[in-house]
Chain A
Amino acid sequence: MTDAALPLQPDAASAERPRTQSTLTRVVHYTGLRMIAMFITIMIGVYLTILIANMGGHVDKIRRGYIREQVAISVGFNEEFKNMTSEERRAHIDKLVALQEKRMGLDQPFLLRSFSFLWGAMTLDLGWADNMSSDSGSRMVRNIILERLPATLLLFSTSFMLNFLVGIFVALYLSRNYGSRLDRAIVGLAPTSAAPSWFYGLFFILLFAALLGWFPFGGLVSAPPPDSIVNYALSVLNHMVLPVIAIFFSSIFLGIYGQRTFFLIFSHEDYVDMARAKGLSDRVVERRYIMRPTMPTIVTSLALSIIGLWFGSIVLETIFNWPGLGRLLYLASNIFETSVIVGSTVVYAYLLGITVFFLDIVYALIDPRVKVGGNQGGQA
């Protein structure tokens, strides 16, 4: 038996080597293809963004009109130019307009510029803004975005983590206590998430800032900002309370409801019943038989939500006067500052691409049913 089995060892070993090479090749092949596909997708997405943000070149027309209007009005109403003849004034306006158009690159056709935008975007050279400056005064798109990023990340990651942690914790609790009063209450409150966070924001401002005076109306920090780091941090936290609660209230009940339903479905699978029948403790069942198969979904949701923080929230940031990316993008859209819009989208596209790419790998790590590449991948 043993002897008979022994000759199989070398064969088994020799049979395993090509299988190992095959897996590596398969992974490399799969990874390479995914990266290329991802790059092409990002490129197409970015170019479409360039076209859309510039309205296919129509923005040039708008900008030209705007430049002429602004220059003409500033010259027309300036006492300095009163003594010019109308011809001189016109020539002066034309010169100023030409200068502005040259500065904004409007002296070149849009199609040509669109490819130069694309090249810059794909190489992450976000370039210079035409009409916007960063808070500190820099015209580099990178600085404009990066200076606003911390405020957005701080606000939305705090809200998100609060939502995520409270959501998971309460959802698990409810899935164990299905039909309880709390469960029914959460289900009943779920429709309140139909109201957006800014609605709660307005309500909370009225209540807690205007009426009770407990919290500030908005802004990042009190004015003037405190000197010490501790006081500064406390002041920021104080200013974060209302927006964080607004975001929390706008999504927590629906989030809990969704996750609790999700856990309930998984907790009624046959293998969970089997585990319970085997006498495993609730904690073990929850951790090994309910949580684990839900991990890919939770991780996906977590990852996409985290990169979703990138854009902030236009309305919420506006009503709370929060100096984040949402307000920045809103301002950029209003003044047709396409470089900032495209810059933000490019970074988001890269983040999304990278996240999706790594999620494929993470799935294979956390879910044994998933394999990377080949026909077997993805079969449950």
Chain B
Amino acid sequence: MSKKRFTFLAVLLIAALLFAACGGGDTEMAEEPAAPAQEEQAAEDTEEAAAAEEESEEAAAAEEEEEAAAMSERTGAWVDEVIAIEEPSAAAAVTRMDLAEIDAYAFSISDAEVYATVQGMDSLTYSNSFGVYAELTFNPAGPIFDGTGKLNPFAVPRIREAMNYLVDRDFISQEIYGGLASPRYMAITNAFPDYARLVDIVRQLELEYAHNPDKAAEIINEEMEALGAELVDGVWNYEDEPVEVIFLIRTEDERKEIGDYVSTMLEDLGFSVVRDYKTASEASPIWIGTDPNEGQFHIYTGGWITTAISRDQAGNFDFFYTNRGLPFPLWQAYSPSEEFDAMSEKLDLRDFTTMEERRELFGDVLALSMQDSVRVWLVNQLGFSAYRGDVSVSTDLAGGLNGARLWPYTLRRTGEEGGTLTIAMPSMLPEPWNPVAGTNWIYDTMLIRATADVGAMPDPFTGLQWPQRIDRAEVTVKEGLPVGSTHDWVTLTFAEQIDVPEDAWLDWDAVEQQFITVGDLHPDGLTANVKSVVYYPGDLSELSWHDGSPLSLADVVLGMITTFDLAKEESAVFDEAQVPSLNNFQSHFRGYRIAQTSPLVIEYYSDQYTLDAELNVANFFPGTPWHTMAVGLLAEAAGDLAFSSDKADANEVEWMSYIAGPSIEILEGHLESAAADGNIPYVSTLGDFISGAEADARWANLSAWYEDKGHFWVGNGPFYLEEAFTTEKTVQLIRVENFPDASSKWEGFDTPMIAEVAIDGPARVASGDEATFEVMIDFGGDAYAVADIDEVKYLVFDALGELALTGTAEAVEDGLWQITLSAEDTAGLESGANKLEVAVAPLRVSIPTFSSLEFVTTN
């Protein structure tokens, strides 16, 4: 090739790159203001300007009124379009948000440096989430390992318990996590309701197990000597060899620093620590896979995550401390005291009848868990979801932005409507989307939620539910079960016995394709622990799917059918992977019954219950229409595709994707044949709910939808999927204009009303005098309504640091509560400095707020 050609090509390529750089960029975000020209004109003629000003003011006012009117009339999402993109780096996402390239980052960031950066940026804001926690997992086997013949000090409960004193949780929270964590002492999370319910017990235990390295050393020395170990030149020896502690330290996050910190503490006590740094996949076969008696590890830096607020953490003790927790060798090595074991099980099985009984049981189990300490809890990690300051959106207290079910209903540019917002997420579209067993990737789930409506909306701040497509619900619970209710949309009643009607559907005959009733299977009758009756509003057909098809009862019933049919061996769409789920479901399921069709009323019977009536409401509002489900069912039955990855792998066919890839062509083929045949799935049953005309209309709608969008993802949420760009990692969601609800429906759910608490009272109290303290509770400067506060508890720690008094404050008015310590109370306090600690448990959020005040008692 000649020199000229070389030159030409090189110049051409560079020119192309430069041209692209100049011409292919994104459009400018803002235009230059034209204000200066207006000012000049105003200076020329003030009268005209004044008149013009008046006119413009009037026009502006009219415009504002129009806008306000329009805003109040707006339905569905606040924004017209959401663009979701991938941005793996949190630091880069923050920079891009500052540059207004993206508006929100759907990831719970836990990097202290990034946190500090965000806090220092005026353009950004953030919301916190609390679902991640870290601990030390101990190997309790031994005290002599069978595999190595070496000593395992952590087989001794007292040594494990002493580790609570050894670790400084404040240091870990502040120094290792840079303030993005709070100390955690036990198996319950301080942002969830049980912590607030038990705050007096928990605070006392926290005080008891506060950092005290001398006490830790004393106990450990005593127990090591009892084991026959000897301290030689500051090093513990057992049978003339140094006592070695193998510490499996996870390397991906702050647990590496925690591992190093604890290792150093143990080395200072005389242990020889082997720091075995491992990633999750490297550590898992050791701490989960090996027999603890082999002695392959002594301690592991464990970490756990909860992506939704758990309103009942009573089962945590059975899970974390007993061999019933998991079927792994480590769990099988747990041998809690008989008392602890029995109480944990009782708590887990909800073997109590009142909340007071539960509280007492809980208190005992908390104390016993600290004595057992096969885990030493360290911190509740604080994550944060960052977004631009001009954006408001609902975020979940446990799951952050990506965990909030309400995000598509609340996302907006503050005070504005319409426009496009860009949300970035660390990773997206790794797996296919399908309505049965498609992706469960957390960030894809976030997007899917925008496309499907729900019957009941989870409250992002309390974990309870609010009605979305439910008019009201009645919950009947068997007498003696500790269930309570908070919201008035649920009516809670108790009954001595709940009989399941004999015409309720209990199972599915996959051959006859018909439901099997309670009467067929239980001629002598069947009872349940809970009955939930849900009243759906108005006519379902007033609601529509994204392809324009009206909702119908068939959409509801198909969901009920597939729950069973996919797991029935006789079914054409049998999937072995669905069997365990069905088995589990059937272990507590006692029947469905469609009590009324218009308006729709569905009864549901179950033996499973939760402590909150709102969470016992079973709703069947569909998120997928029967006709798109039917296309997938046809492809599955033909063996062309499979809903689940398990079946896809087993049959060596593609895992079904409704949005892209090789599945689309196959689904298209089935759509064509279904449309040609006027297919009605499960016609023996659904034939009663779907007319031929309706089927034809649905197939026509889906064909038109597919023609237009090129995918089969049809939902009923506030956004529809315009397109998923799978290689480019971009998803485009467009607002559904005819969504039935006002955009303002979920206003008030963008900021958690975490109470702000201050205490005022005397600094000095004479022993034997009555003392009154005022507790001011507000949120953002506004008084917190008394009706929104569940309880205000107080604890008084005396001069010796002992818990001397507990009680509840009295409400005076909104935002003001009062604590009165009687003369008798103060007389019982030691002279010296006391601490009054107040815990406020609001109803609007699950997080209690603490505040304290010191006062001195004198004789």
Q: Do A and B bind each other?
A: yes
- If A137-B661, A169-B7 touch, whether A82 touches B99 (CB-CB below 8 Å) is no
Instruction: Give B857 Cβ to nearest chain A Cβ, in Å.
Output: 46
Instruction: Give A62 Cβ to nearest chain B Cβ, in Å.
Output: 5
- If A83-B608, A130-B649, A165-B10 touch, whether A68 touches B430 (CB-CB below 8 Å) is no
- If A68-B288, A139-B649, A219-B729 touch, whether A93 touches B326 (CB-CB below 8 Å) is yes
Q: Is B640 located at the chain interface by the 8 A CB criterion?
A: no
Q: Which of B607-628 contact A (CB under 8 A)?
A: 607-610
Point out the residue from A140, A214, A319 that lies within 8 Å of B21, measured CB to CB: A214
Q: Is B88 located at the chain interface by the 8 A CB criterion?
A: yes
Q: Is B86 located at the chain interface by the 8 A CB criterion?
A: yes
Q: Which of A89, A135, A140 has the most CB of B within 10 A?
A: A135
Asked whether A137 lies within 8 Å of B86 as measured between CB atoms, the reply is no
Chain B: CB-nearest residue to A148: B727
Instruction: Give A245 Cβ to nearest chain B Cβ, in Å.
Output: 8
The CA of A128 and the CA of B655, in the complex, are separated in Å by 11
Asked whether A99 lies within 8 Å of B289 as measured between CB atoms, the reply is no
Q: Is B296 located at the chain interface by the 8 A CB criterion?
A: no
- If A76-B326, A81-B584, A158-B13 touch, whether A321 touches B661 (CB-CB below 8 Å) is no
- If A136-B662, A169-B6, A234-B20 touch, whether A318 touches B282 (CB-CB below 8 Å) is no
Point out the residue from A218, A244, A319, A323 that lies within 8 Å of B17, measured CB to CB: A244
Asked whether A165 lies within 8 Å of B6 as measured between CB atoms, the reply is yes
Q: Is A52 located at the chain interface by the 8 A CB criterion?
A: no
Instruction: Give B463 Cβ to nearest chain A Cβ, in Å.
Output: 10
Instruction: Give A63 Cβ to nearest chain B Cβ, in Å.
Output: 8
Q: Is B318 located at the chain interface by the 8 A CB criterion?
A: yes
Point out the residue from A66, A89, A95 that lies within 8 Å of B284, measured CB to CB: A66
Q: Report A311-351 CB contacts with B as 1/0, cut-off 8 Å.
A: 00000001101010000000000111000000000000000
Asked whether A238 lies within 8 Å of B21 as measured between CB atoms, the reply is yes
Asked whether A318 lies within 8 Å of B101 as measured between CB atoms, the reply is no
Q: Is B781 located at the chain interface by the 8 A CB criterion?
A: no
Instruction: Give A216 Cβ to nearest chain B Cβ, in Å.
Output: 7
Chain A: CB-nearest residue to B306: A77
Asked whether A136 lies within 8 Å of B660 as measured between CB atoms, the reply is yes
Q: Is A43 located at the chain interface by the 8 A CB criterion?
A: no
Chain A residues, CB < 8 A from B9:
161, 165
Q: Is A257 located at the chain interface by the 8 A CB criterion?
A: no
Chain B residues, CB < 8 A from A73:
304
Q: Which of A69, A132, A210, A213 has the most CB of B within 10 A?
A: A69
Q: Is A193 located at the chain interface by the 8 A CB criterion?
A: no
Asked whether A220 lies within 8 Å of B727 as measured between CB atoms, the reply is yes
Asked whether B654 lies within 8 Å of A241 as measured between CB atoms, the reply is no
- If A137-B661, A169-B6, A217-B92 touch, whether A151 touches B20 (CB-CB below 8 Å) is no
The CA of A137 and the CA of B653, in the complex, are separated in Å by 12
**Interface locus among B22-30, B692-700, B742-750, B839-847:** B22-30
Instruction: Give A314 Cβ to nearest chain B Cβ, in Å.
Output: 13
Interface residues on A, range: 35 or more
- If A143-B662, A321-B86 touch, whether A61 touches B607 (CB-CB below 8 Å) is no
The CA of A143 and the CA of B660, in the complex, are separated in Å by 13
Q: Is B95 located at the chain interface by the 8 A CB criterion?
A: yes
Instruction: Give A355 Cβ to nearest chain B Cβ, in Å.
Output: 21
Q: Which of A106-162 contact B (CB under 8 A)?
A: 128, 130, 132-140, 143, 147-148, 151, 158, 161-162
Asked whether B101 lies within 8 Å of A237 as measured between CB atoms, the reply is no
Q: Is A177 located at the chain interface by the 8 A CB criterion?
A: no
Instruction: Give A276 Cβ to nearest chain B Cβ, in Å.
Output: 18
- If A103-B645, A137-B654 touch, whether A166 touches B284 (CB-CB below 8 Å) is no
The CA of A81 and the CA of B270, in the complex, are separated in Å by 44
- If A62-B282, A217-B92 touch, whether A99 touches B661 (CB-CB below 8 Å) is no
Instruction: Give A240 Cβ to nearest chain B Cβ, in Å.
Output: 7
Instruction: Give A312 Cβ to nearest chain B Cβ, in Å.
Output: 14
Q: Is A20 located at the chain interface by the 8 A CB criterion?
A: no
Instruction: Give A260 Cβ to nearest chain B Cβ, in Å.
Output: 15
Chain B residues, CB < 8 A from A234:
19-20, 23-24
Chain B residues, CB < 8 A from A99:
576-577, 580, 646
Q: Which of B309-324 contact A (CB under 8 A)?
A: 310, 312, 315, 318-319, 322, 324
Q: Is A10 located at the chain interface by the 8 A CB criterion?
A: no
Q: Report A214-258 CB contacts with B as 1/0, cut-off 8 Å.
A: 111111111111000001001111101100110000000000000
Instruction: Give A61 Cβ to nearest chain B Cβ, in Å.
Output: 5
Q: Which of A81-99 contact B (CB under 8 A)?
A: 81-90, 92-96, 99
Instruction: Give A308 Cβ to nearest chain B Cβ, in Å.
Output: 20
Q: Report B309-353 CB contacts with A as 1/0, cut-off 8 Å.
A: 010100100110010111110000000000000000100110000
The CA of A376 and the CA of B16, in the complex, are separated in Å by 48
The CA of A220 and the CA of B220, in the complex, are separated in Å by 58
Chain A residues, CB < 8 A from B662:
136-138, 143
Q: Which of B157-175 contact A (CB under 8 A)?
A: none
Instruction: Give B110 Cβ to nearest chain A Cβ, in Å.
Output: 19
Chain B residues, CB < 8 A from A148:
727
Chain A residues, CB < 8 A from B99:
210, 213
Asked whether A166 lies within 8 Å of B610 as measured between CB atoms, the reply is no
- If A72-B326, A136-B661, A336-B281 touch, whether A235 touches B24 (CB-CB below 8 Å) is yes
Q: Is A80 located at the chain interface by the 8 A CB criterion?
A: yes
Asked whether A92 lies within 8 Å of B580 as measured between CB atoms, the reply is yes
Q: Is A100 located at the chain interface by the 8 A CB criterion?
A: yes
Chain A residues, CB < 8 A from B430:
132-133
Asked whether A66 lies within 8 Å of B281 as measured between CB atoms, the reply is yes
The CA of A128 and the CA of B95, in the complex, are separated in Å by 39
The CA of A144 and the CA of B588, in the complex, are separated in Å by 41
Chain B residues, CB < 8 A from A133:
430-432, 655
Q: Is A65 located at the chain interface by the 8 A CB criterion?
A: yes
Q: Which of B397-443 contact A (CB under 8 A)?
A: 422, 429-433
The CA of A133 and the CA of B723, in the complex, are separated in Å by 19
Q: Is A79 located at the chain interface by the 8 A CB criterion?
A: yes
Instruction: Give A346 Cβ to nearest chain B Cβ, in Å.
Output: 19
The CA of A136 and the CA of B724, in the complex, are separated in Å by 9
Chain B: CB-nearest residue to A166: B10
Chain A residues, CB < 8 A from B723:
224
Asked whether A90 lies within 8 Å of B649 as measured between CB atoms, the reply is no
- If A96-B580, A133-B432 touch, whether A139 touches B648 (CB-CB below 8 Å) is yes
Q: Is B301 located at the chain interface by the 8 A CB criterion?
A: no
Asked whether A137 lies within 8 Å of B431 as measured between CB atoms, the reply is yes
Instruction: Give A46 Cβ to nearest chain B Cβ, in Å.
Output: 21
Point out the residue from B24, B432, B579, B730 that lies within 8 Å of A231, measured CB to CB: B24
Point out the residue from A76, A77, A138 that lies within 8 Å of B661, measured CB to CB: A138
Asked whether B584 lies within 8 Å of A84 as measured between CB atoms, the reply is yes
Point out the residue from B23, B322, B432, B584 that lies within 8 Å of A80, measured CB to CB: B584
Q: Is A292 located at the chain interface by the 8 A CB criterion?
A: no
Asked whether A219 lies within 8 Å of B728 as measured between CB atoms, the reply is yes
Asked whether A83 lies within 8 Å of B587 as measured between CB atoms, the reply is yes
The CA of A247 and the CA of B58, in the complex, are separated in Å by 59
Asked whether B10 lies within 8 Å of A241 as measured between CB atoms, the reply is no
What are the 8 tightest A-B residue pairs by CB atom distance, in nearest-first order? Answer: A237-B20, A86-B324, A136-B661, A234-B24, A137-B657, A137-B432, A238-B24, A65-B284
A-contacting residues of B (Cβ < 8 Å)? 3, 6-7, 9-10, 13-14, 16-17, 19-21, 23-26, 83, 85-89, 92, 95-96, 99, 101, 280-282, 284-286, 288-289, 304, 306, 310, 312, 315, 318-319, 322, 324-328, 345, 348-349, 422, 429-433, 576-577, 579-580, 583-585, 587-588, 607-610, 645-646, 648-650, 652, 654-655, 657, 659-663, 722-723, 725-730, 732
26 contacts between A and B (CB under 8 A): A66-B280, A66-B284, A68-B284, A80-B584, A81-B584, A82-B315, A85-B349, A92-B584, A93-B326, A99-B577, A99-B580, A103-B645, A134-B661, A135-B727, A136-B662, A137-B431, A137-B654, A138-B661, A139-B645, A140-B654, A161-B9, A162-B14, A217-B101, A238-B23, A238-B25, A336-B281
Given contacts A72-B328, A231-B24, A237-B20, 6 further A-B pairs with CB under 8 A are A61-B289, A80-B584, A162-B13, A214-B25, A236-B24, A238-B23
